[in-house]
Structure formats: structure tokens, C-alpha cells
Structure 1
């Protein structure tokens, strides 16, 4: 062994240099990404598209088949001559991913398998703003455990295991048995400043959280569910979901705005999420726009979200249902917005005036973002999207009036079609990307036991 060279042991038992293991992970990821982005392909087509040698692709495919991350899907014929090619496709139906979001008045869940098939999706009304950190984390853990149980049951069919067997085996036992879904990763979206590397929420003003070790505390709450937990800002995750599959998918320069009680921003520049030096960029809701304005949850006055957040709209449009009045049960944000939409459609003057006021402030803050980042679109989510037909004309007019570059900036407001679930979808997508980055972290291929050898008598 050369001095200083490190070795690792692969599934087949042979020792290989650590660099070889890293290269293999990279190549496995390259093949999976190709299948995810292009659908079923033959081994020869994958080799041609990725630049890998055909023998290398065949070797990688054998491991991916063992790990049940790809499946054979049939025969492809390359023209009228030549041997038929057997095609493969991304599988991973036994690998579960959970995206969660905890916000001021709800907890959202988006559960999928590795291929993106949605298996669990819901939003539960919950007063996180008034419940305190410990109670909120207990509720988050409860919703997560319930979703994990549903994901596990959703994959029980192929193995023939019933609910009783699932409870006895647990997630890891089901995976070992060869059936069911094993949750391989959990992502959590939070409206606040997040230390992503450590899974710590540094500050979430509207939740009243400071220095909360969310990843580790949720892991403890989930007990024997051995799945890594990733935590990130809700607007960042929603922006990534929009960039991947939203109305402005693929737009290299865009801003996403959450339309919640708090207003956050996810900023895509040159096709990449802008995080900043400490990962805290995008807190656009706390731009000061009115020094004499209302007090914000962050402790300052006149922040942008005090003008355009859902709480501001509800206070103006339906003052008898304003946030902080202790309503039980807590209304779902879509229920609040649906009521306002009905009033707007009916010509309610109080609601029309409220939306016009919010729209103008939305355009003012949007002009600041356009002057700073020169995005092509500002995608608005949450309640902004639901009320877009009334809200965005005012916002667009104000933006065009205030942007320094004028028409040359060519930026427009666009309503998201992902709804209030954009952040939990983004959280799930981030976990899927992490798993595809390192397929070897998903689980070991089946262990082949050596045939028993005859013993001498």
C-alpha cells in the first residue's frame, strides 16, 4: 500500500482506493440524474449521453438494479438493424422522502417516493405563532410521524405486509424485508433565518423562535426513524420548487415571494439560489419601507411585511377576524383568503380598497428588488397568487413607475400555481437531490450469502 493512500471496502468485499469510491458515487449519481431528466434509456444511450464507457455503465447499472433505484422497462430497437437494447428507468418506489413546512398558522406535508410520485399531501391548521417553541415542535413531530406511517403503508403492497406487520417491523425492518417504503430523508421549511449546515433556526420572528436546534430535536422526536433531517428557509425552498417546476421554471434570474403572514424572498441569480455570506439572504419582508409604520414581529417598525403580509390584508379587509384574536380552531390561510376572494368578486368596497393598498405596497417593495437584482420575473405565492387578478395590476403599475430602468428592466409579476404547498414541495425536492447526489446513502444492496461449503467427515 502506498504511504498516505486510503482504502475503502465496497459491497463486493474488495478493497478499493477512497478516490475510487468517490468516483463511483459521482458516476452513479450521473446515471440517475440522466434517467430522471430524460426518462427511460438504454445503457448504450446513457453511455453516449454521459460520456461514460459502456462497460462502466453496465457495471453501475448492476448496482442500481440491486439497490432497486432503477428497473428494466422493455426493449428499444435502434433502427432497422442492430441488436435490440433493453431500456431502464428511474425507480426508487421503495424510497420515501418527506417535505414539511411549519408556518404561523399551519403545518404542511408533502411526501413522495424517489421518483416524485406524491403519496401524502396535506396542511393542518395550527397556531404556531401563539403556541411556543416546545408545543410547536411536538406538533411538527406528530404530523411528521403520522405522514411517515402513511408513507410506509403506501408502499406495503409489493411486500405483502399488512398494517400489523408494518408496526412490528418498523421502517428499517420493512426495507430489509424487501417491501414497503423506507423514509430516507426529511426536509423542513421554516419562515426565518436558518443555519442550514447545522439545522438550527437562528431567528424566526413570527414564530417567536431563536436558536432552535430543529434538525436534532425533530430527529429525537421521531425516535427509531433513522432519516437525516435538513432545515432551510421556506422562501428559499419555494423558490427552488418554482425554478424546477413552477410557472417560470428555468428562468435564470427570478425572485419568489411568499404570500403568508410573513413575507420572505427566494432569489435565483444566474440559475443558482443566492444565499449570501452566512446563508441569511432573502429576508425581504424586513426591508424598511415606512419608518412611521406598524411594529413588526422582528421588533422593528415599518417593515414591508407589515404592509403586504396576510395579517395586514386580513386586518384591513376583515378586521373582525384579524390575527392575534385567539380564534379556535385556527382558520386555514386558504379559508381566510377564499372569504376575501368571495368579497372581492362581489364588489365589497372595504376589501377592494384593502387589496388596492396592499398591491401598491407590493409594487413598491418589488421595485426595490428589481433595482437590486434585475430579475426577469417576480413569482408570487401564497395568498398573493390566490388574489392575483385583483392584486397584481396595482403591483405591476407601481413597479413600472418606480423601477429606475423603466421598461428596459422588463420584469413582471407572475402568480405561482404551486399554492401554499410550494415550500414543502421544495423541501422534498431538496432531499431527493441529496439522495441522487449520493445513491450509496440510500441503502446497501442486498447481501448475497455464500453457498455453504461441504465439510470434511
Structure 2
């Protein structure tokens, strides 16, 4: 990650005895450097963090004991070939599980600390047509299966983060309002923790677009871009905003509900109950209703397919020149550009990353969207903002959720036990 928050000792020496907080911060600084590079020597880390070399060696001994780093060989520098022992991020025994529940699927992305993918899948599930209790039960079962798969690979999850399309009180893990799921004031973190029972894995809950934006910022198509907006391309449309290298949450943590910008006072009713919201123009349900009305969401007796299948059907139609689908996508592209121009005028991002189905149909959507954005953006620099398609597909939020867990581990490595059990062979 490019926005580093380094804590340095004032004298460059070893932290004073009993300064646990300072030691945690310095351990975190070392791990952040290693996350940003394939491998580094202790001297490299000392130079980058401003810590004394003796301090770095001391910190490295603890990180090696916790098996969060590993030595990867000796490199030679300088004219006399002075050897330096390089280290790299390790933590194969420490896992992070990211999940997303959306209208028609549950996505899972589990990794270890070094980023090795241990489990990744998407399960078709009609969350919109289920009660909150049934949806939470299904989410819990998928979580248990993922945790067990990660443990078989020798990695015990240090946390689970769940992405939800709606307003989330992240501090309490409560979904305040998820209009497309018909959830209100649902204590999802507590409910899921209770379901996991003896697995004893901490659970976080956050907005799907926020987590997807973090995932894109850390390792996506616009990684390191300090000012970006991410747009989910789902039945609902949410926005995650990175400003100055930080996630913009707002006073109550509810920023980014861009799908509920009112763009058409005479438009359709949205799942939130209002009229003419942006997502009623550009959400996947709106596109399917126009492009394939016989397969529209909510029709009685219609099974809920994987969203990727719906999008693949539309892509095939577009490739074959289906006129109805071409007109539907052109219309969505124009509305996408109109809403994007509002975001460009408000937040002045360098890029607007489009995910979900937007990314899958980018070659047909973006010419219309980019034209509208450039025409409607007011400030000259804002016209340089461009749409880019995510490469994460429908998995951006679950990836970002896993990244959030990893960031918390790196923020406080002391939460990882000193002598963890050896992982199973793999």
C-alpha cells in the first residue's frame, strides 16, 4: 500500500522498556515496508523507517518468532560484495477471510498474510428473496466452510470482514439499512460471531463499496492512486471514495451512497423507497429489465442465476449486434457518465473505477460514459478524470474485506501468538 504511516523512535534507538504501544507501532512499520516490497534487508528497512539498525534487528527477531516474516537469502551490495540477509513477508499460518453478501450471491476470498489465495468462490443465493434470518444462516454456513478450508491449508483466520450493500455502522457491526436486501438495524457482526461459535473468529462488517475501494487502492487497476472513486456494478450501485490516500467515511460513516443520488424526478421507484435514484438507471436490475425483460429480476417463478451468467448473456447479445441490447447499454452508459460527472465535480478524482457488471461490459459502456463525463465536468482538470474497468469482477468487495483484516493484523502484529502451531503440510 502506498500511504504509509510510520512511527519512528525519536533517538533512533531501542524503544524504552515498557513502551508496548511504541513497539507495536514499530513492528507495524516494518511489516508495512515488507508488504510494499518483495523482500528487503534489515538495512533497507532501517533506512526506510528511520529506525536504528539495532532496533530493526530486535524487531525482526520477534517477527521471525511469530512467523510473520521469513529470511529469503543473502544479497550482496557495494564494490566489496558486502552480504545482507533479506527478509520477506510470510505469515502462512495467519489467514484473512473476506466475504460479501449481495442481492443474488455470496462471495468469499480467503488469503494468508502474504497474499496467497487459499479459498475463493461465489455462491448463488437469493438474498433479496430471503428473510434476514435465513440470509444470515446461509452466510454463516458459507463462512464456516471457508474457515475450515483455510485451516486445512494450514492458515487460521485472524478475522472475517463482511461486505454489505447498504448503510453500515462499522464500529458496532450493525447494518443500519440495506434497501435491496430489506435489512434494517441488523446486528450482523454479533449474529455471525454467535453462529461461528467455537471457531472464535472476530467479525467486522462494512459497506461493500468502501471495501472494494480499499481493495482497488491496495492492489487493483488503479493501485496507489490517492484520489479515486469506486463504483459497484450490482443490482444496487454504491460508491467508495479514496481521498488523499484515505477512505472517506463522513461524519457517521455513511458516505458513498451515490446510487441514491436523485437524477430523474419522474423515474422509477428505488428499493430505498425514493423516486429516480441513479441505481434505477444504471443498476444491473435496470439493465436486465431493458435488455432482457423476459429475465427481469423479481418475476414470479424465475430462479435467481449467478449475476455473471446474466452479464455473459448480455455480452453475447452485444457481440452479435442485438439492437435492443445495444440501445439498453448505450442508455446505461449515458446515465453512468452523467452520474460520474457529478462525482468528478464533487470529489475531483483522477479515476473512477467501475466494478461488477460495469467492468464486464466496459467496452460497450465506457465510450458513452466517458463522453458524458467530459461534456458535463465543470473544472478543466475534472475533465481529465477517466473511467477504468476493475479486473476483480464481482470479487472486489470480498478482496477488499480480506485486505482490511490483513491491515488490522499489520497495524498490531502482537495479536498473533508468539508460538503458533505448525500449519498442515501443503
Q: Same fold (TM over 0.5)?
A: yes
Relative distance call for 1:17 and 1:59 in structure 2 (3 A) is: closer
Task: For 1:205-244, list aligned pairs within 5 A.
Answer: 205-244=179-218
Relative distance call for 1:208 and 1:141 in structure 2 (3 A) is: same
Relative distance call for 1:328 and 1:51 in structure 2 (3 A) is: same
1:120 is matched with which residue? 119
Q: RMSD in angstroms over aligned alpha carbons?
A: 1.7
CA offset at residue 252 of structure 1? 1.8
Native 8 Å contact 2:291 2:324 kept in 1: yes
Relative distance call for 1:426 and 1:389 in structure 2 (3 A) is: same
2:310 is matched with which residue? 336
CA distance in 1, matches of 2:47, 2:376: 51
Which deviates further from its counterpart, 371-380 or 416-425? 371-380
Where do 5+ consecutive residues of structure 2 fail to align?
1-14, 422-426
Native 8 Å contact 2:241 2:247 kept in 1: yes
CA offset at residue 45 of structure 1? 2.5
Q: TM-score, normalised by structure 2?
A: 0.92
CA distance in 1, matches of 2:218, 2:262: 31
CA distance in 2, matches of 1:287, 1:46: 46
Native 8 Å contact 2:295 2:302 kept in 1: no
2:84 is matched with which residue? 85
Which deviates further from its counterpart, 263-272 or 323-332? 323-332
Native 8 Å contact 1:63 1:445 kept in 2: no
Asked if 1:292 is matched to 2:263, the reply is: no
CA offset at residue 18 of structure 1? 8.8
Asked if 1:427 is matched to 2:401, the reply is: yes
Which deviates further from its counterpart, 340-349 or 18-27? 18-27
Higher relative contact order (CA 8 A, sep 6+): 2
CA distance in 1, matches of 2:90, 2:418: 16
Task: For 1:90-239, list aligned pairs within 5 A.
Answer: 90-155=89-154, 181-239=155-213
CA offset at residue 82 of structure 1? 6.6
1:50 is matched with which residue? 49
- Partner SS state of residue 396, structure 1: helix
Native 8 Å contact 1:106 1:125 kept in 2: yes
Native 8 Å contact 2:42 2:87 kept in 1: yes
Relative distance call for 1:89 and 1:133 in structure 2 (3 A) is: same
Native 8 Å contact 2:348 2:382 kept in 1: no
2:254 is matched with which residue? 280
CA offset at residue 272 of structure 1? 1.4
Give the greater-gyration-radius structure (CA). Answer: 1
CA offset at residue 134 of structure 1? 0.4
Where do 5+ consecutive residues of structure 1 fail to align?
1-15, 156-180, 448-457
CA offset at residue 425 of structure 1? 0.2
Native 8 Å contact 1:247 1:416 kept in 2: yes
Relative distance call for 1:71 and 1:315 in structure 2 (3 A) is: same
